[in-house]
Amino acid sequence: MNEGWNKSLKKIIRREMGDEAYIEKKMHPLLDSISDAFDSHDKEYALLNRIMDLSSSELFEANNELRKRNEELDRFVYSTSHDLRAPLTSIMGLLNLMELTDSNKDKEKYLQLMRMSTVQLDLFIQEIVAYTHNKKLGVQSELIDFEDLIEKCISRLSFMNNSDLIRKVVDVKLKFDFYSDRQRLDNLLSNLLSNAIKYCDLSKQDPLVRIVVKSENNHAIIIVEDNGIGIKNESQDRVFEMFYRASAQSKGSGIGLYIVKEIVEKLAGSIKVKSTLGEGTTFEIDLPNQKG
């Protein structure tokens, strides 16, 4: 028998009680000091034969994973049902108010508020679709036109409250053809841009969102920075958690940045956040080229 030989076998067996067990059987040589005990002319390697019942550990891990997924699903259903209902309740209330007034000025005001609630509802539905898409579908790589992608995101978010008051600067300076999943990048950028708009600081003289795309080795570096209200230091490590809201005044669903992190991981990239309360926030994403 060759020195260093070892073998591992996993299989399912049936116990005496009739139930099945998932076991791992391992065989490998014992140390030379033990084999030296054999006659030198008939030297052989003793085998250490170990059988491990993996059923308990495998089931424990599977149950743990299932429990975590169920808890995540429970939180998702609870939070999404609340966040879907809130803008609908607002719209129904505003419709009632419109029926009670003859003032065109009041009706215009109510219509504007209804439009804002509708945009909020649409953004949230987009987040749910993005969440499901990222969980279920594989990466579909194609050549990315970042300028076109970003401009379409900005246009789609133009109906958000205060969007027209924020200056948007786009600076794309990639030096090579970049391939990635366009739909995922669209969801990623939409979430980051909508966040920057939601948490803008209109008290500043020049409310600003800047989107930069640049090259680094064979990677694309995407930077989304704003001069908005910023994030507290103690919240920055948690902003990517599902349903986490940095403050009671948070206007979002709490899943937008969670989806961003999930998308970045799906694309084998990394993301980091840097923020100063009262000054603004910067997200920097590093994505590898998915060119086959």
pLDDT, tens digit, 9 for 90 and up, residues 209-250:
999 999 999 999 999 999 999 999 888 888 888 777 766 556
Determine the Cα–Cα distance for residues 212 and 35; give it in Å rounded to an integer: 66
pLDDT computed for residue 271 by the predictor: 97
- pLDDT at residue 282 greater than cutoff 80: yes
pLDDT computed for residue 82 by the predictor: 64
Domains, the chain, with CATH or none: 7-53 (no CATH), 69-135 (1.10.287.130), 141-288 (3.30.565.10)
Task: Write the pLDDT tens digit of every residue in 188-200.
Answer: 999 999 999 989 9
Q: What is the mean pLDDT of residues 75-83?
A: 68
- 164 versus 250: the higher-pLDDT residue is 164
pLDDT computed for residue 12 by the predictor: 62
pLDDT computed for residue 54 by the predictor: 53
Q: Which two tokens stand for residue 140?
A: 């579909």
- The pTM score is 0.64
- 238 versus 25: the higher-pLDDT residue is 238
For 65-81, the DSSP string reads: HHHHHHHHHHHHHHHHH
pLDDT level of residue 178 (50, 70, 90 thresholds): very high
Cβ-in-10-Å burial (0-12, 13-18, 19+) of 107 comes to middle
Mean pLDDT estimate for the chain: 80
pLDDT computed for residue 269 by the predictor: 96
- On whether the CB atoms of residues 132 and 76 are closer than 8 A, the answer is no
For 159-201, the DSSP string reads: TSTTGGGSEEEEEEE--S--EEEHHHHHHHHHHHHHHHHHT--
Task: Write the pLDDT tens digit of every residue in 130-143.
Answer: 777 777 788 889 99
pLDDT level of residue 113 (50, 70, 90 thresholds): confident
- 181 versus 72: the higher-pLDDT residue is 181
